[in-house]
């Protein structure tokens, strides 16, 4: 149990400061005691010297010439004198020890001050943003009151004006529009401040505060280590050779030797972990106050940015500022990583160069690495926080098509027109009707996410039509490649027709065909012309072609079903995505399908297609009848042979060798994510965390990381390569030969991680061939470059199987 998990509360933080003060007082007490001992030893040395000198003053010494008794006495006195000199030397060394205590005390005070300042710094930002949210809300309420008053005044003047015009009415309308603009801008600032506060608070609890505490624990333990060394040195200079003193010294050595830096704070952290008043920091909840917009008709939605002619310029400027901040964070991270890899110091002094030590050698290599990791984590958190706001603004700008912006007071400023046409009565709009379902069109791609759409539109004029959900309402969007990618929401007229800027049409198909055949731009501002419809890819299946039969499992995004394809009568496995998930999660869900569609290997589960025409989105894959490898191992533990287990290892190595050749990092290789067919063949599955790149750096936290299967460099630095999958493969081998046991049984994730960092490796499962366990240990090499690649692993396992077959 460490500082990062047990000392997050305010009470624990204050207790840690009190503990440091107590340690400083104890250090001063030790220093004074050793100073007194040095003084006593010096005085004793002087007295012992006087004894020796007195003993050498022998009367009539010449008369004792040749006497053995006299010679022995002189030797005795010489030894006393030698002993006095040794006591004097020890006393002088104890004074040096006192000086070391002085330096240690000074360094410890500096470290305590640095910790307090760092803790205050990261807490101050959260407090500042909390105050900022309150301030933005107050501004919101002020502008809201002004807006409501001017809206009422405008409505009253408009009704009273006989000709719907006049100087007074124009003046009221102008003030009303200004109040509307202020309200919308304040709305966006409020939404952004809440979003930023949520990200900062999350990083405070999950990254920055744990990182600071982990670093502080390393510093504290370094002081304990040096403190122990000083005590051992003091004890050394008080060591006497007489038997009675040897026993005393033995006891002193024993109690001093029992000091263990890693266990020094065990009881302390245990106490504050279980006392209810020092439980981990409770997450702060930041929510949009929906009472602010209850009485406002129009486009203001809680926690949603409003993009219109009043706010678009402000949003674009804000986006530019945030993108600059993201680039700045990325550049700082890159420089820091380059300095670390090159062994050079970072400009801010957080990394000690070339192993040199400051503050009397307090900072060990472990401390330096811990600080590097903490500083990088802080930068990554800043980047992620700003990127969250960037994505939010980009999404809001893109959803309205970038080119087409609704009026900032769309619902309010069209009030005048509604008065004229409807006289306060909102007539029900004509229902949408078409001659044939839109989903039958080959260029309609259903609810395919924007990220996937962009991949399909490559040349100017390429276009397709899709569906999106905004504010729980379905909208049809025309996506076009034209000097980039543009997205136009199909507008619905009051008569139930469809249009962009041109004439209205009775159906969306007619509208698209008009734009396509006329070669007129969709909007004058965009200039986008439709030239080539992009039809659904062969792996985009119709939802109606899939018949769900029975649920066979549950995934991260939704349920997994056994199903049947109507067209081929083929039994398949179908992963579904819950309709209520946000678009970001749906994109992650489809990532597995995007990766699998390009792979073809007998030990990789095959993709048959995806269904995106309507909700729910589904991924259709081959049905592997044996089910999960983990379940299979546990159910068949008594009947599995060593040959079958080695064959499973070979199958997994073959699949991973193929992925490695494609620069695909799986990141979640484990028995639970492998499948077994009826012939005991293993197939790699579950690519939800996979990445198609040679190296992948995690920047979104480590919440869902399977700690006991993940390589140390990925856990410590967020750096993934195919050699991280090799580590996971070693755990998979252990699972296979232990017939489904849980790795590091009885250990928590944090305890297993600590043991691994100190060199611990799991023992061989019962009846595992020696060569296979040796291969496991090679996969678990601390240095990633020392691990074998999957091509080598496959060859080793295949050769072992061949040798086993020949021996029978």
Q: Which helix (H) or strand (E) holds 499?
A: strand 498-499
Residue 581 is predicted with a pLDDT of 78
The first and second tokens of residue 523, run together, are 């909007």
pLDDT of 553 strictly over 50? yes
Torsion of CA 195, 201, 206, 212, to 10 degrees: 130
The residue among 225, 243, 455, 471 whose CA lies nearest residue 361 is 225
User: Annotation-wise, does 554 bind a ligand?
Assistant: yes
The answer to whether 183 touches 147, Cβ cutoff 8 Å, is yes
**pLDDT of 89 higher than 60:** yes
The verdict on whether residue 806 carries a ligand-binding annotation is: no
Say whether pLDDT at 436 is over 80. no
Residue 732's H or E segment, with its range, is helix 722-737
Q: What average pLDDT does range 130-158 have in this prediction?
A: 89
Tell me if 639 is assigned to a ligand binding site. Answer: no
Containing 68, the helix (H) or strand (E) segment is helix 68-160
Average pLDDT over residues 38-57: 89
Name the 3-class secondary structure at 775.
helix
H or E stretch covering 687: none
Given this model, what pLDDT does residue 729 score? Answer: 96
pLDDT band at residue 50, thresholds of 50, 70 and 90? very high
Task: Give the model confidence (pLDDT) of 380-428 as tens digits.
Answer: 888 888 898 988 888 777 655 434 344 344 333 333 333 323 333 333 3
String of DSSP letters for 451-466: HHHHHH--STTEEEEE
Tokens 């030894």 found at = 79
Q: How many CA atoms lie within 13 A of 298 on its CB side?
A: 23
Above 60 in pLDDT, residue 702?
no
Residue 330 burial class via C-beta count within 10 angstroms: exposed 0-12, middle 13-18, buried 19 and up: middle
pLDDT (0 to 100) of residue 586: 77
Q: What value, to the nearest 5°, has the Cα angle with vertex 477 and ends 473 and 482?
A: 155
CA dihedral 45, 46, 48, 54 (to 10 degrees): 160
**pLDDT recorded at residue 242:** 54
CATH 1.10.510.10 positions along the chain are 629-808
How deeply is 568 buried, as exposed, middle or buried, from its count of CB atoms within 10 A (0-12, 13-18, 19+)? Answer: exposed
Query: Please, what sign has the CA dihedral across residues 152, 153, 159, 164?
Result: negative
- Average confidence (pLDDT) over 325-333: 89
Contacting residues for 351 by C-beta, under 8 A, at least 6 apart = 336, 339, 340, 345, 368, 371, 372, 375
Confidence of residue 683 (pLDDT cuts 50, 70, 90): very high
- DSSP states of 524-578 as a string? TTT-----EE-PPPTTEE-GGGEEEEEEEEE-SSSEEEEEEETTT--EEEEEE--
Asked whether the predicted pLDDT for residue 29 surpasses 90, the reply is yes
Is residue 795 reached through a cis peptide bond, with omega within 30 degrees of 0 on the bond before it? no
Q: What pLDDT, on a 0 to 100 scale, did the predictor assign at position 485?
A: 92
Predicted confidence (pLDDT) at residue 572 exceeds the cutoff of 70: yes
Region for 759 from its dihedrals, namely left if φ exceeds 0, alpha if ψ lies in -120 to 50, beta otherwise: left
pLDDT, tens only, 195-221: 988 998 888 888 888 888 889 889 988
Q: Which tokens go with 559? A: 């349920």
CB 542 within 8 A of CB 613: yes
Tell me the average pLDDT across 17-38: 91
575 is in an annotated binding site: yes
Residue that has been written with the tokens 């690495």 in this structure? 369
Under the banding of pLDDT at 50, 70 and 90, the label for residue 431 is very low
Comparison of pLDDT for 700 and 657, the residue scoring more: 657
**How far from 436 is each of 202, 447, 509, 517, 543, CA to CA, in Å?**
49, 18, 9, 20, 17
- Name which of 631, 649, 620 is nearest 775 in CA terms: 649
pLDDT of res. 445: 86
pLDDT of residue 345: 42
pLDDT above 80 for 472: no
pLDDT value of position 692: 47
Residue 725 known to be catalytic:
no
User: At what angle are helices 415-422 and 68-160 packed, to 10 degrees?
Assistant: 30
pLDDT of 703 strictly over 80? no
For the structural domain made of 431-533, what CATH number should be given? 3.30.505.10
- Which two structure tokens, joined as six digits, stand for 372? 């590097």
Q: At what angle do helices 167-203 and 312-342 cross, to 10 degrees?
A: 20
Which phi and psi (to 5°) does residue 417 adopt? -65, -40
Report the C-alpha gap between 763 and 769 in whole angstroms: 13
pLDDT digits (tens, 9 = 90+) for 711-729: 999 888 888 888 999 999 9
Token digits of residue 738: 């232990």
Whole-angstrom distance, CA of residue 526 vs CA of residue 297: 30
Alpha carbon of 587 to those of 450, 581, 666: distances in Å?
9, 10, 17
| 556 carries a ligand binding annotation | yes
Predicted pLDDT of residue 423: 33
pLDDT classification of 297: cutoffs 50, 70, 90? low
Quick one: tokens of 313? 């310029």
Residues of the chain with CATH 1.20.1270.60: 3-388
User: Which of the given ranges, 117-126, 476-485, 678-687, 694-703, has the highest pLDDT on average?
Assistant: 476-485
Q: Residue 724, Cβ neighbours under 10 Å: how many?
A: 25
Q: What percent of the chain has pLDDT over 90?
A: 34
Sign of torsion over alpha carbons 93, 95, 101, 102: negative
Residue 64: its pLDDT value, please?
Answer: 72
DSSP-assigned letters across all residues of 295-326 = T--SS--TT----STTTHHHHHHHHHHHHHHH
User: 628 with 675: CB under 8 angstroms?
Assistant: yes
Q: What is the mean pLDDT of residues 570-587?
A: 83
Q: What is the mean pLDDT of residues 720-745?
A: 94
Q: What is the pLDDT of residues 219-272, one digit of tens each?
A: 988 989 999 999 988 888 877 765 655 765 676 677 577 777 877 767 677 766
Sequence-distant (6+) residues with CB within 8 A of 185 are: 310, 311, 314
353 pLDDT above the threshold of 90:
no
Q: What is the dihedral of CA 708, 710, 712, 717, to 10 degrees?
A: -130
> Is residue 188 a known part of a binding site?
no
Mean pLDDT of 110-125: 90
Beta strands in 577-625 (DSSP E): 607-611, 618-622
Where is mean pLDDT largest: 46-60, 464-478, 660-674?
660-674
Alpha carbons 498 and 496: distance in angstroms, whole number: 7
CA distance 286 to 603: 46
In contact, 763 and 660? CB cutoff 8 Å: no
Q: Any idea what DSSP says for residue 280?
A: S
The per-residue pLDDT for 580 is 78
pLDDT above 90 (res 293): no
Q: How far apart are CA 613 and CA 339, in angstroms?
A: 50
Q: Which band of pLDDT confidence, cut at 50, 70 and 90, is reported for residue 704?
A: low
- 171 among annotated binding-site residues: no
555 a known binding residue?
A: yes
For residue 542, what pLDDT is reported?
81
CA angle 414, 419, 423 (to 5 degrees): 145
How many whole angstroms separate alpha carbon 400 and alpha carbon 471? 13
Tell the residue number behind the tokens 């990445």, with chain if given. 691
pLDDT-derived band at 168, boundaries 50, 70, 90: confident
Going by C-beta distance under 8 Å and a sequence separation of 6 or more, which residues neighbour residue 375?
Answer: 336, 346, 348, 350, 351
pLDDT at 454: 87
3-state secondary structure of 677: coil
pLDDT of 694 strictly over 80: no
> Which one of 668, 700, 757, 798 is the catalytic residue?
668
CB atoms within 10 A of CB 417: 9
Q: Are strands 571-576 and 491-492 parallel, antiparallel or unpaired?
A: unpaired
Residue 790 annotated as part of some ligand binding site: no
Q: In the structure, what pLDDT confidence band is assigned to residue 701 with cuts at 50, 70 and 90?
A: very low
Taking the C-alpha atoms of residue 136 and residue 138, their distance in angstroms, rounded to an integer, is 5
User: 502-535, pLDDT tens digit by residue?
Assistant: 899 999 999 999 999 999 999 988 999 999 999 8
**CATH level 3 topology of 3-388:** Substrate Binding Domain Of Dnak; Chain:A; Domain 2 (1.20.1270)
Dihedral sign (CA 308, 309, 315, 316): positive
Q: Are 651 and 682 in contact (CB under 8 A)?
A: yes
When pLDDT is averaged across residues 463-469 and rounded to a whole number, the result is 87
Architecture of domain 629-808: Orthogonal Bundle (1.10)
- Mean pLDDT calculated for residue range 450-479: 85
Query: Which pLDDT does position 407 carry in this prediction?
Result: 39
Mean pLDDT of the chain: 82
Pairing of strands 532-533, 462-470: parallel
Q: Is 749 annotated as a binding residue?
A: no
pLDDT at residue 299 in the model: 60
């Amino acid at each position: 149990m460490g500082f990062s998990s047990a000392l997050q509360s305010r009470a624990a933080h204050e207790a840690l400061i009190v503990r440091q003060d107590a340690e400083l007082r104890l250090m001063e007490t030790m220093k004074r005691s050793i100073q007194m001992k040095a003084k006593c030893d010096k005085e004793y040395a002087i007295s012992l010297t006087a004894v020796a000198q007195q003993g050498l003053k022998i009367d009539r010494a010449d008369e004792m010439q040749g006497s053995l008794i006299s010679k022995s006495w002189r030797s005795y006195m010489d030894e006393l004198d030698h002993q006095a000199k040794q006591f004097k030397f020890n006393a002088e060394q104890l004074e040096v020890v006192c000086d070391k205590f002085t330096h240690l005390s000074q360094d410890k005070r500096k470290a305590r001050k640095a910790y307090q300042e760092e803790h205050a710094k990261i807490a101050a930002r959260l407090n500042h943003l909390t105050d900022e949210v309150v301030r933005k809300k107050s501004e919101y309420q002020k502008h809201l009151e002004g807006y409501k008053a001017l809206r009422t005044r405008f409505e009253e003047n408009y009704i009273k004006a006989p000709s719907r015009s006049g100087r007074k009415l124009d003046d009221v309308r102008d003030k009303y529009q200004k109040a509307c603009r202020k309200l919308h801008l304040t709305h966006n600032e409020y939404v952004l401040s809440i979003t930023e506060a949520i990200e900062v608070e999350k990083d405070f609890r999950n990254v920055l505060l744990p990182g600071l505490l982990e670093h502080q624990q390393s510093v504290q333990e370094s002081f304990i280590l040096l403190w122990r060394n000083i005590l051992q040195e003091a004890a050394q200079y008080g060591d006497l050779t007489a038997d009675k003193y040897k026993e005393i010294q033995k006891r002193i050595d024993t109690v001093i030797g029992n000091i263990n830096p890693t266990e020094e704070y065990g009881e302390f952290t245990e106490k504050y972990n279980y006392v209810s008043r020092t439980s981990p920091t409770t997450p702060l909840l930041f929510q949009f106050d929906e009472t602010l917009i209850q009485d406002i008709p129009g486009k203001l939605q809680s926690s949603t940015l409003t993009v219109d002619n009043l706010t678009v310029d402000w949003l674009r400027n804000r986006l530019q500022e945030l993108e600059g901040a993201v680039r700045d964070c990325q550049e700082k991270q890159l420089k820091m990583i380059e300095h670390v890899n090159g062994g050079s110091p970072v400009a801010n002094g957080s990394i000690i160069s070339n192993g040199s030590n400051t503050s009397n050698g307090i900072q060990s290599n472990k401390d330096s690495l811990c600080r590097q990791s903490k500083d990088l984590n802080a930068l990554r958190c800043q980047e992620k926080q700003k990127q969250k706001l960037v994505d939010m603004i980009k999404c809001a700008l893109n959803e309205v098509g970038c080119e087409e912006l609704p009026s900032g007071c769309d619902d309010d400023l069209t009030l005048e027109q509604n008065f004229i046409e409807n006289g306060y009565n909102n007539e029900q709009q004509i229902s949408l009707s078409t001659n044939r379902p839109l989903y039958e069109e080959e260029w309609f791609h259903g609810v395919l996410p924007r990220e996937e759409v962009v991949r399909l539109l490559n040349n100017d004029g390429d276009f397709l039509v899709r569906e999106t959900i905004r504010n729980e309402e379905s909208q049809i969007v025309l996506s076009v490649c034209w000097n980039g990618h543009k997205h136009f929401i199909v507008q619905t007229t009051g008569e139930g027709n469809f249009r962009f800027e041109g004439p209205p049409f009775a159906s969306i198909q007619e509208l698209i065909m008009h734009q396509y055949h006329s070669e007129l731009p969709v909007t004058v501002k965009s200039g986008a012309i439709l030239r080539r419809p992009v039809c659904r890819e062969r792996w985009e299946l119709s939802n109606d072609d899939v018949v769900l039969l029975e649920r066979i499992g549950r995934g991260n995004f939704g349920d997994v079903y056994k199903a049947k394809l109507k067209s081929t009568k083929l039994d398949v496995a179908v992963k579904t995505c819950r309709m209520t998930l946000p678009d970001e999660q749906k994109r992650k869900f489809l990532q597995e399908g995007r990766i699998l569609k390009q792979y073809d290997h007998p030990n990789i589960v095959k993709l048959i297609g995806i269904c995106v025409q309507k909700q729910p989105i589904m991924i259709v894959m081959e049905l592997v009848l044996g089910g999960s490898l983990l379940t299979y191992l546990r159910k068949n533990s008594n009947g599995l042979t060593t040959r079958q287990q080695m064959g499973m290892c070979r199958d997994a190595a073959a699949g991973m060798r193929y992925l490695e050749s494609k620069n695909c990092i799986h990141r979640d290789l484990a028995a639970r994510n492998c499948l077994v067919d009826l012939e005991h063949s293993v197939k790699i599955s579950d690519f939800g965390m996979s990445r198609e790149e040679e190296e992948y750096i995690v920047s979104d936290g480590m919440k869902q990381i399977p700690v006991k299967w993940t390589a140390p460099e990925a856990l410590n630095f967020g750096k993934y390569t195919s050699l991280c999958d090799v580590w996971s493969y070693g755990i998979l081998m252990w699972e296979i030969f232990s017939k489904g046991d849980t790795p590091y049984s009885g250990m928590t994730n944090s305890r297993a991680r600590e043991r691994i960092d100190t060199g611990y490796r799991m023992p061989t499962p019962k009846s595992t061939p020696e060569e296979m366990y040796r291969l496991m240990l090679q996969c678990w090499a601390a240095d990633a470059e020392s691990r074998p690649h999957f091509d080598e692993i496959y060859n080793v396992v295949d050769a072992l199987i061949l040798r086993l077959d020949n021996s029978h």
